[in-house]
Amino acid sequence: MSLGTLIVFAVLGLVVAGSAVGMLLSRNAIYSALFLVINFIAVGVLYLVLGAPFISFAQVAVYAGSIMVLFVFVIMLLGAEQFPVHEPLRGQRWLGLLAGGLFLIESAAFLYLRTSAPKWAAEIGFGFESPAVVGRMIIEKYLLPFEITGFLLLIAVVGAIFLARLETPMVGKGRQGQLGERKE
Amino acid sequence: MPLVYYLGLSAFMFTIGILAVVLRRNPLVVFMGLELMFNAANLAFVAFAAFHKVLDGEIFVFFVITTAAAEVAIGLALIVAIFRAKHSIDLDQMSQLKG
């Protein structure tokens, strides 16, 4: 194990963990979104360290780019940055913290107690998982899932437009009768 | 790098995602927690793919990213629709399924 890889991983790991905790703890949803952007970009760099440039760029473009833009847009559209602090469910916070701590302990126990010990992951290097190889594999071996995913995206976009559209008043008894009247 | 480092980081991210889903009441932050859990699973996938030298894990991550994008589009549209209907998106107030 080279020392350089360890230093890179340590810095990136600190950024990933810190931004995740910041996302959890910040009161303002906009700050949460920005922390999550930092987290996604750092994880993308970790993918580069693991020798997966295609996934890394897809991560930065799709997650840190479009998905977070969508999040920030909806937060600003709804004005949902902050909520007043009152707690209808008593003790929910402590129960949740307890459950999370239990999960962390459980996964740590899984990592350290399982039988087959993992050896070493790849060092920093390119070439094995170049985008050309990944693209060829998607087209050749995983063509059907690829097409299904495209169809899923189409359905999702159409469904999102249907769900979020404004109810426009239609002339005559169109679909307004089917959907039921909705007061604005 | 030992694989266990990456798995540990992935487990930590997943735990933070669970805590965000369980503790926060803003549905947008809950969604961000979901994304964080997706990301943790992706990190584990890529770490295993790099360790075992098989590309299939990375292809799977590609599909997971696509599905997450579809899920976010639908989820945010649902949040906007709920906000229009109830004029609030506080999760604790969504305790009734009546229309």
Single-letter amino acid, residue A103: F
* Number of domains chain B is built from: 1
Residue B98 lies in a domain: no
**DSSP string for B40-56:** HHHHHHHHHHHHHT-SH
Q: Which two tokens stand for residue A51?
A: 């020798």
CA dist A126 and A136 (Å) reads 17
Residue B69 lies in a domain: yes
Residue B56 lies in a domain: yes
- Average pLDDT of A49-70? 88
Across the A/B interface, how many CB contacts are shorter than 8 Å?
227
Single-letter amino acid, residue A83: F
- Mean pLDDT check: name the lowest of A82-91, B35-44, B47-56: A82-91
Q: Which two tokens stand for residue A152?
A: 């899923």
Chain A residues 85-124 within an 8 A CB cutoff of chain B = 88-89, 92-93, 96-97, 99-100, 103-104, 107-108, 111-112, 118-123
- State the pLDDT at residue B14: 93
> Per-residue pLDDT tens for A75-110?
888 876 666 555 566 677 788 888 888 888 888 887
- State the pLDDT at residue A28: 85
Contact A153/B66 with Cβ under 8 angstroms? yes
Nearest-Cα residue of chain A relative to residue B30: A24
Q: What is the ipTM of this complex?
A: 0.89
Domain that holds residue B76: 3-93
| Domain boundaries along the sequence of chain A | 1-81, 130-167
Residues with Cβ within 8 Å of A59's Cβ and at least 6 positions away in sequence, in order, are A40, A43, A44, A47, B42, B65
Closest CA to A67 of B14, B17, B70: B70
Q: Indicate the helix (H) or strand (E) that contains A116.
A: none
Q: Indicate the helix (H) or strand (E) that contains A1.
A: none
Residue B99 lies in a domain: no
Specify the pTM. 0.81
Contact A107/B18 with Cβ under 8 angstroms? no
Q: Is B2 helix (H, G, I), strand (E, B) or coil?
A: strand
Nearest-Cα residue of chain B relative to residue A2: B1
Is A1-81 CATH 3.60.150.10? no
At B65, which CATH number? 1.10.287.3510
For residue A120, what is the DSSP state?
A: B
- State the pLDDT at residue A184: 45
